[in-house]
């Protein structure tokens, strides 16, 4: 399925560019200050690191880890690259300092996408049509930083989903993996349990926004509940698990289990049949002996009658 929303860098999907740092401040380097290992976003969380590299968790985005309205991702892109999209945007605001940055509304939606460390931006209020240049990746001489694009969504929607899935909403049927242990709730947002790290659920439907977070009705193998969409979960192709991460019982598993029970019962029945046959054989033998005794009894009764007659 084609993506609904796509950000392009010189005509290439942003998802194809390497990532320096994730929403919560995770990055990979030989040291905390580099050089850095930069996987694609789709591979970042489960990346196998080259020899000598390790994971760091206190990057500049760490301060945003619990802020539902900030979920920025840094992409490694050289200066001079032009940003375009496949959707129309309206420029809401921008700043030439602390970035520089530009805040854009995707027309017809509540979404506010921010591009940071850019320049050559249009004026506030301008409407930029799909395919037209929005701004350009700025050089270090403008930003004072190593050249990169910092992209975010400033109302609380996940920029990761936009980049990877082409939409800000979790689609029904998508599987979601917990990157950390998370609370699960009922429809009144009361906590009713936890989903352990690495557990996986399936999205049933969007529910509503609460305290800045989007909640979805989801299904684990052993429970349906409501889950917040945060930086601590991600879309995955892994199969659904129970809340504790264990494998759920499936129809196939139950069929196999019942099959084993049937085999065990058939074995017991087979043993009992053998015993019954032995008992039947014994009974037949006893019947034959009883028949002999009956005939002996008849013989002696007849003999006794003969003897009685002779005495008379």
Contact between residue 152 and residue 113 where contact means Cβ atoms under 8 Å apart: yes
| Domain definitions of the chain by residue range | 7-165, 175-236, 258-312
Q: What is the pLDDT along the chain (312 residues), one digit of tens a residue?
A: 579 999 999 999 999 999 999 999 999 999 999 999 999 999 999 999 999 999 999 999 999 888 878 889 999 999 999 999 999 999 999 998 778 999 999 999 999 999 999 999 999 999 999 999 999 999 999 999 999 999 999 988 889 989 998 988 888 888 999 989 999 999 999 999 999 999 999 999 989 888 878 899 999 999 999 999 887 888 888 999 999 999 988 766 677 777 788 888 888 887 888 888 788 778 787 877 777 777 777 777 767 666 666 655
Contact between residue 84 and residue 11 where contact means Cβ atoms under 8 Å apart: yes
Contact between residue 80 and residue 119 where contact means Cβ atoms under 8 Å apart: no
The residue among 242, 145, 236, 251 whose CA lies nearest residue 184 is: 242
Domain 7-165 sits in CATH at: 2.70.70
Contact between residue 163 and residue 42 where contact means Cβ atoms under 8 Å apart: no
Output the pLDDT for position 306: 66
Domains 7-165 and 175-236 share a fold: no
SS (H, E, C) 214-243: EEEEEECCCCEEEEEECCCEEEECCCCCCC
Please tell me what DSSP assigns to residue 132. Answer: S
Q: Name the fold adopted by 175-236.
A: SH3 type barrels. (2.30.30)
Contact between residue 121 and residue 100 where contact means Cβ atoms under 8 Å apart: yes
Output the pLDDT for position 234: 83
Output the pLDDT for position 193: 96
Would you state the structure tokens that stand for residue 115, as one six-digit string? 């591009």
User: Whole-angstrom Cα distance, residue 292 to residue 299?
Assistant: 10
277 Cβ neighbours under 8 A, 6+ residues apart: none
- Rounded to two decimals, the pTM is 0.69
Would you state the structure tokens that stand for residue 30, as one six-digit string? 């030989």
CA 137 vs CA 76, 143, 158, 213: distances in Å = 10, 10, 22, 30
Q: Is 94 helix (H, G, I), strand (E, B) or coil?
A: strand
User: Whole-angstrom Cα distance, residue 146 to residue 192?
Assistant: 45
Output the pLDDT for position 200: 97
Task: Please provide residue 214's backbone torsions phi and psi, each rounded to the nearest 5 degrees.
Answer: -85, 130
The residue among 93, 87, 171, 81 whose CA lies nearest residue 131 is: 87
């Amino acid at each position: 399925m084609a993506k609904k929303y796509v950000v392009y860098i010189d005509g290439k999907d942003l998802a194809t560019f390497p990532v320096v740092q994730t929403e919560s401040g995770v990055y990979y380097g030989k040291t905390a200050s580099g050089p850095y290992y930069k996987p694609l976003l789709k591979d970042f969380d489960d990346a196998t690191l080259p020899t000598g590299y390790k994971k760091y968790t206190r990057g500049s985005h760490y301060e945003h880890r619990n802020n539902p309205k900030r979920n920025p991702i840094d992409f490694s892109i050289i200066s001079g690259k032009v940003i375009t999209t496949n959707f129309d945007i309206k420029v809401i605001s921008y700043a030439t300092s602390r970035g520089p940055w530009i805040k854009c509304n995707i027309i017809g939606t509540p979404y506010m996408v921010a591009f940071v460390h850019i320049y050559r931006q249009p004026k506030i209020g301008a409407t930029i049509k799909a395919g037209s240049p929005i701004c350009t990746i700025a050089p270090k001489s403008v930003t004072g930083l190593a050249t990169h694009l910092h992209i975010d969504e400033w109302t609380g929607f996940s920029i990761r989903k936009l980049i990877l899935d082409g939409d800000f909403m979790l689609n029904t049927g998508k599987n979601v993996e917990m990157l950390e242990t998370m609370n699960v709730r009922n429809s009144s947002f009361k906590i009713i349990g936890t989903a352990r790290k690495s557990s996986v659920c399936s999205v049933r439907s969007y529910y509503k926004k609460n305290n800045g977070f989007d909640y979805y009705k989801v299904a684990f193998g052993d429970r349906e509940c409501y889950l917040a969409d945060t930086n601590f979960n991600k879309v995955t192709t892994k199969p659904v698990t129970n809340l504790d991460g264990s494998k759920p019982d499936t129809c196939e598993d139950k069929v196999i289990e019942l099959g084993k029970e049937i085999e065990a019962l058939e074995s017991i029945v087979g043993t009992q049949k053998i015993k019954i046959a032995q008992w039947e054989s014994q009974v037949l033998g006893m019947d034959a002996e009883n028949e002999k005794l009956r005939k002996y009894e008849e013989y002696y009764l007849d003999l006794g009658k003969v003897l009685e007659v002779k005495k008379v």
